[in-house]
């Protein structure tokens, strides 16, 4: 899900940076984003939701430099925050076998 975000922090040499980007995926625990600034695993960043102006501190959990000219960076919130994205996530005990999932599949197949 592409949501516009602003990411800020300090470079490896201590200079502040800020850039606008978007998410590639989101969860209650963080997001996958594209960044042009070089970041490192374990680095603390601030992620701001451009639409809501909400901001949270997060940590770089994963970096994939092989996908494009800008690395995909997995950031994890310091504490889970499902309300940050203003999106309804499935409950923790949800599975594809859940009755709601089956009724949704039937509905979309009959369209």
The domain of 97 spans 4-110
Does 107 score more than 50 pLDDT?
Answer: no
> In 3D, which of 73, 79, 66, 90 has the Cα closest to residue 22?
73
Residue 88: CATH number of its domain: 2.40.10
pTM of the model: 0.77
- How many domains does one find in the chain? 1
Q: Are 34 and 71 in contact (CB under 8 A)?
A: yes
The C-alpha atoms of residue 33 and residue 68 are separated, in whole angstroms, by 12
Identify the pLDDT of residue 111. Answer: 43
Q: Which of 42-46, 68-72, 73-77, 87-91 has the lowest mean pLDDT?
A: 87-91
C-alpha atoms less than 13 angstroms from C-alpha of 54 in its C-beta half-sphere: 11
Task: Categorize the per-residue pLDDT at 66 as very low, low, confident or very high, splitting at 50, 70 and 90.
Answer: confident
Does 54 score more than 80 pLDDT?
Answer: yes
Does 7 or 71 have the greater pLDDT score? Answer: 7
């Amino acid at each position: 899900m592409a949501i516009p975000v602003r990411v800020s922090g300090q470079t490896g040499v201590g200079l502040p940076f800020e850039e606008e980007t978007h998410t590639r995926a989101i969860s209650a625990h963080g997001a996958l984003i594209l960044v042009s600034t070089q970041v490192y695993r374990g680095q603390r960043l601030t992620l701001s939701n451009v639409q809501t102006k909400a901001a949270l501190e997060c940590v770089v959990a994963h970096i994939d430099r092989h996908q494009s000219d800008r690395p995909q960076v997995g950031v994890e919130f310091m504490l889970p925050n499902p309300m940050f994205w203003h999106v309804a996530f499935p409950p923790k005990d949800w599975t594809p076998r859940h009755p709601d999932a089956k009724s949704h599949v039937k509905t979309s197949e009959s369209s």
